[in-house]
Structure 1
């Protein structure tokens, strides 16, 4: 039996108090249904919220009994990233993101800090807001495309000792062909069928992400912007259970 992907709720809201309110509102969705025993509620805390609330906000999330996806996308020279990781280590987050484009040495530095802990360091490949047009802007006349770049960076992430990568669900299969199955695939850009794509270029439904082999999906606006966010969150969990019974 294939386990359904875990659901990470993205709290891209402008204030720490609002984020905590969402945590309390949505936690009950994870306390019932077929997925209740298999996953702890997990919420994404991004750069804006971390700049506003800092480590104390992470601690407040954890005090609510939820896991934290700390989406900082660290990208600097190896020494600086290593120092930042040491500063974050004791927070006990479930996931921490760094950019794979920072290079092998930078990724290795982050992986060393969290070795032996419960924190999974994830390498962000190409943002789902980017497409081939952006690659051509970055690297003129290179003929680079996502299908070549993303699996290569995922391979480097595995070599560096990272626990997983953040990638579009459409790239899961190519990564699986390049890297073994122990590398976790976390897919953002997930939208409930019929919802707006907003600024995302690579959008997929929760059900299709599960079929494409996601280990976890990140959903924000499709849940928070729904008429009944708690019901929508429950719908997502039930839909994933149906795809991966």
Structure 2
């Protein structure tokens, strides 16, 4: 039984990192939709599409559709509108698409009475300083994240996906209501997989993060509920 004293700590988004519906539903059936959000990324959406999202909605889950739209402004406008039509709770675009693209994404949601949260991805947690240098960006990774966060805020977005250690600076820059979503959460003896920017659940609370995204730490666990309970307890 999960500890439901779940206030004043980061909320948990479970990333369904599976390549088939049966494996995903084995985990979903264990989860309480009043406690956890679900994230659908490129792999599962490509395999299962909007029908799977509708099924998860019928079970009561709020869905973060994490497709990281990054294209010309008109294409992102249309993609954002199509995603919002699915009734999702949150969706993502790439902040590096620039001011016009971000503004168009925001504009696409104007007609929705109950619109999803629009979140900008700043820098992937797999990126290192040398990766920025390889694509011609000479500033520090930390400054790059802050610049993209402020740009997204100025364009009217609701928050950013960013490495946890930058969250406090972003809150100071953009305000407490600006949502921070952080992947790369590690606990127990988790492997870092392919992520370089990682933090613990306890650090997530300290850094004032709103939502933590947990994927393989849970999806590869023998006892995911026990592990989720530990994560919640570690943040209290």
The question of whether the paired residues in 2 share the 8 Å contact of 1:190 and 1:206 is answered with yes
Is 1:225 the counterpart of 2:220 in the alignment?
yes
Of 110, 113, 126, the match for 2:108? 113
How far apart, CA to CA, are the structure 1 residues paired with 2:90 and 2:22? 22
Q: Confirm whether residue 137 of structure 1 aligns to residue 137 of structure 2.
A: no
3-state SS, counterpart of residue 29 of structure 2: helix
Counterpart secondary structure, 1:165: strand
Structure 2 residues not aligned, in runs of 5+: 1-6
Q: What number of residue pairs does the alignment pair up?
A: 228
SS at match of 1:189: coil
TM-score by length of 2: 0.92
User: Is 1:23 aligned to residue 23 of structure 2?
Assistant: no
Greater displacement, 210-219 / 175-184? 175-184
Q: 2:71 aligns with which of 60, 63, 76?
A: 76
TM-score with structure 1 setting the length: 0.88
SS at match of 2:30: helix
Match of 2:93 in 1: 98
- Matched residue SS, 1:13: coil
Shift of 1:236: 1.5
Supply the distance in 1 between the matched residues of 2:222 and 2:17 (Cα, whole angstroms).
17
Post-superposition Cα deviations, 1:46-101, rounded to whole Å, max 9, x if no partner, equal 00110111111111111111111111000000100111112122211111011000
Distance 1:143 1:66 in 2: 41
After the TM superposition, list the runs of 4 or more consecutive aligned residues in structure 1 that deviate by more than 4 angstroms: none
- Return the alpha-carbon distance in structure 1 between the equivalents of residues 219 and 81 of structure 2: 32
**CA distance in structure 1 between the aligned counterparts of 2:223 and 2:73, rounded to whole angstroms:** 44
- Please state how far the C-alpha of 1:16 moved relative to its aligned partner: 2.6
2:9 counterpart of 1:4: yes
Does structure 1 retain, via aligned residues, the 8 Å contact 2:69–2:93?
yes
Distance 2:148 2:131 in 1: 17
The question of whether the paired residues in 2 share the 8 Å contact of 1:10 and 1:44 is answered with: yes
> Could you say what the CA RMSD is over the residues aligned between the two structures, in angstroms?
1.5
Of 204-213 and 107-116, the range deviating more from structure 2? 107-116
1:40 to partner: Cα distance? 4.0
Gaps of 5+ in 1: 31-38
